[in-house]
Amino acid sequence: MTIPTVQFNDGNSIPQLGFGVFKVDPAGTERIVLDALEAGYRHIDTAAFYDNEEGVGAAIARSGIPREELFVTTKLWNDRQSGDEPLRAIDESLAKLGLDHVDLYLVHWPAPAKGDYVNAWQKLVEIRDAGKARSIGVSNFLPEHLAAVIEATDVVPAVDQIELHPAYQQRDVTDYAAARGIRIEAWGPLGQGKYPLFEEEPVAAAARAHGKSPAQVVLRWHLQQGNIVFPKSNSPERVRENLDLFDFALTDAEQAAIISLERGGRVSAHPNEVN
């Protein structure tokens, strides 16, 4: 099995399918990430705020997989955006991960009430230039936030990691990003179980047609839309199932039917409200 890669605007590439550790218990992170690596994942998405970078690092060390075969993302939390805090934060994350660089470092939220996200982005440029992150990007940024950091630095983020699932597709953000070569990473790709996505007829019908689970259908939809995804699961069986997406393809009609499920159904916080 070969997981496709997506190229960034800086020339680097990322596996389009990865494994996320949001809300994964720090005590169990090493085991769960090791299971994912053994299943075939090579892209791991964590964050300082998740408090499980140490477990990710321990799993990487135990796996024996060469560093150059892995893609590791972590993120700068909101309370570390001012002054030189981002420079200290990346060093702390690297120490916990046991790495000398990450492949992608993100500003986790714009936190506009703090007024520091432009400074944070400027420091991420320094972090990239120092070789501590191969690529840099943002998460939960709206067009106005993206415009501000690009104007301040002339550096376009490689990615914007945003809430995105069939009921909430954020076309304003995705269109803005596409016009500037910013790749979209979809977090909460299955809607976090907060609405009956798998019972929606377009999803259920495609699952029946292809002999796949509804989750596999939605993840395949993301891939065919060009999104980068990193579903999480504590179940080894589900971890493997989420990787089994490359022996079928949705038709144009099936993709369109899932696109039609858009209803502005955000299930998490608005980026301007997380500070």
* 105 has catalytic annotation: no
Q: In what order do the strands lie in the sheet with 19-20?
A: 19-20, 43-45, 71-76, 102-107, 133-139, 159-163, 183-187, 228-229
- Token pair belonging to 53: 């970078």
d(CA 230, CA 175): 21
Catalytic site residue from 50, 117, 168, 176: 50
State the catalytic residues: 50
